[in-house]
């Protein structure tokens, strides 16, 4: 059976976790956490990175830092994971969904401004499949209307928009290191902070509302309760696992991109015959091979293809059910404008296996089976 995802393992994880145990430091913010933060800062050129327990938690931190309150509105695509919305709904905000572009499945930047009201506080773009949203346009709208930008870059590590790392455009950017992501620590994430002035508040919220981070650095002699906060720091064991992956981030990304290109090449004939559609990467976006998907004619054909591939021992999966049509989406949000593509495109998308250890032979076999299905 070819799984849809296999969590990445590079070889050094256990050694580093063992080191963390020998360091007698397995709680948060030990040497491995510091190394991971620094690695991400150096490689994304953000002012500050704080490792978190998940991308969900990084987004919750961003919502707290942005001081999102009851009645505020946050604009986002409906085609996203629940965490993008939950973070703001937990603060009492209403979610305003905007349609996606069918080519990248990202929020349509041209529809954002129409959704802005007097209550709008933030825009939360989601970089689907590690392909950048149109950040120039989005940042321009945010500046003109005085809005915060919180990027859901859960799938976006090692990916760039016009040469700049995803997650570093907005006030805050959120990465995920869940086992389904390119680089992993089991469960985990990171909050990227663009402006130095927001770092101290973030450290306090992450450390149960205390200035313990300063205490650890020897900047204060006692730590005290400074503000509301929670426990958003991951254990050193998870950070040790992640560090082994960060060290090989280039290699992991290179292999994923090679498999992605191979899928694309093998499936291009089917696309040229008009039987399927392939992902589109804008010229100015450098993606990270997070996901390879095809689009079938409709939901019915997708279901048949999933079953067909399953018989061939291949696991392929659909993706998000649009949030605006889900029970909580109806309760906490509204769709602004017409749902021209969100529902329709979400019903056509089929993700094929993509992971670090996926082999060239496997990609060839999978693409061959997809072709067989269409040429039966």
Ligand X SMILES: *Cc1c(COP(=O)(O)O)cnc(C)c1O
What does the binding site for ligand X look like in residue numbers (CB under 6 A)?
A: 54-56, 80-81, 83-84, 126, 152, 154-155, 176, 178, 189
What are the structure tokens assigned to 322, written together? 């649009």
Indicate the residue among 96 and 174 with the shorter CB distance to ligand X. Answer: 174
Q: Give min distance, CB of 193 to ligand X, in A.
A: 17
Number of Cβ within a 10 Å radius of residue 114 = 11
> Closest distance between ligand X and the C-beta of residue 31, in Å?
23
Task: Report d(CA 180, CA 187) in Å as an integer.
Answer: 9
Of 233 and 267, CB closest to ligand X = 233
Smaller CB separation from ligand X, 101 or 178: 178
- Tell me how far, at minimum, the Cβ of 361 lies from ligand X, in Å: 28
Nearby residues of 143 by Cβ (< 8 Å), 6 or more positions away? none
- Cα–Cα separations (whole angstroms), residue 225 to 36, 91, 205, 228: 26, 21, 10, 8
- Could you tell me the smallest distance in angstroms from the CB atom of residue 44 to ligand X? 17
Of 157 and 202, CB closest to ligand X? 157
The nearest distance, CB 126 to ligand X, in angstroms, is 5
Report the interhelical angle of 236-247 vs 249-272 (nearest 10°): 60
Neighbours of 43 (CB within 10 A): 15
Which residues is 192 bridged to in the sheet? 49, 173
Whose Cβ is closer to ligand X: residue 80's or residue 336's? 80
Q: How far apart are CA 329 and CA 89, in angstroms?
A: 10
Min dist. Cβ of residue 323 to ligand X (A): 11
Q: How far is the CB of 290 from ligand X (least distance, A)?
A: 9
Comparison of 36 and 369: residue with beta carbon closer to ligand X: 36
Residue with smaller CB distance to ligand X, 249 or 276: 249
Burial label for 214, CB within 10 Å (0-12, 13-18, 19+), is middle
Task: Round to whole Å and give the CA distance between 321 and 310.
Answer: 21
CA angle (93, 99, 104) in 5-degree steps: 120
């Amino acid at each position: 059976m070819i799984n849809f995802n296999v969590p990445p393992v590079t070889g050094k994880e256990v050694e580093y976790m063992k080191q963390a145990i020998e360091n007698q430091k397995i709680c948060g913010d030990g040497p491995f956490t510091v190394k991971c933060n620094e690695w991400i800062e150096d490689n994304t050129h953000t002012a500050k990175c704080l490792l978190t327990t998940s991308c969900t938690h990084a987004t919750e931190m961003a919502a707290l830092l942005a001081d999102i309150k009851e009645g505020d509105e946050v604009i986002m695509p409906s085609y996203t994971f629940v965490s993008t919305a939950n973070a703001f709904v937990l603060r009492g905000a209403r979610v305003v969904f905007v349609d996606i572009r069918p080519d990248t499945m990202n929020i349509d930047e041209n529809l954002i401004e129409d959704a802005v009201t007097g209550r709008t506080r933030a825009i939360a773009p989601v970089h689907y499949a590690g392909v950048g949203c149109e950040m120039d346009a989005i940042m321009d709208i945010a500046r003109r209307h005085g809005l915060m930008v919180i990027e859901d870059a859960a799938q976006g590590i090692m990916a760039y928009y016009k040469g700049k790392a995803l997650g570093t455009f907005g006030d805050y950017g959120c990465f995920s290191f869940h086992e389904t992501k390119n680089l992993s620590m089991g469960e985990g994430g990171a909050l990227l902070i663009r402006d130095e002035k927001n770092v101290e508040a973030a450290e306090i919220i992450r450390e149960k509302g205390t200035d313990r981070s300063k205490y650890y650095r020897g900047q204060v002699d006692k730590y005290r309760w400074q503000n509301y906060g929670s426990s958003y720091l991951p254990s050193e064991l998870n950070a040790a696992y992640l560090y082994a992956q960060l060290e090989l981030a280039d290699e992991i990304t290179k292999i994923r991109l090679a498999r992605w290109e191979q899928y694309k090449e093998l499936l291009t004939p089917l696309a040229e015959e008009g039987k399927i559609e392939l992902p589109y990467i804008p010229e100015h976006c450098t993606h990270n091979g997070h996901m390879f998907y095809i689009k079938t004619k409709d939901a019915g054909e997708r279901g048949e293809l999933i079953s067909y591939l399953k018989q061939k021992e291949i696991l392929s999966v659909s993706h998000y059910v649009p949030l605006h049509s889900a029970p909580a989406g109806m309760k906490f949000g509204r769709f602004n404008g017409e749902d021209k593509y969100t529902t329709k495109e979400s019903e056509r998308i089929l993700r094929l296996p993509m992971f670090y250890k996926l082999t060239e032979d496997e990609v060839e076999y999978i693409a061959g089976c997809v072709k067989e299905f269409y040429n039966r």
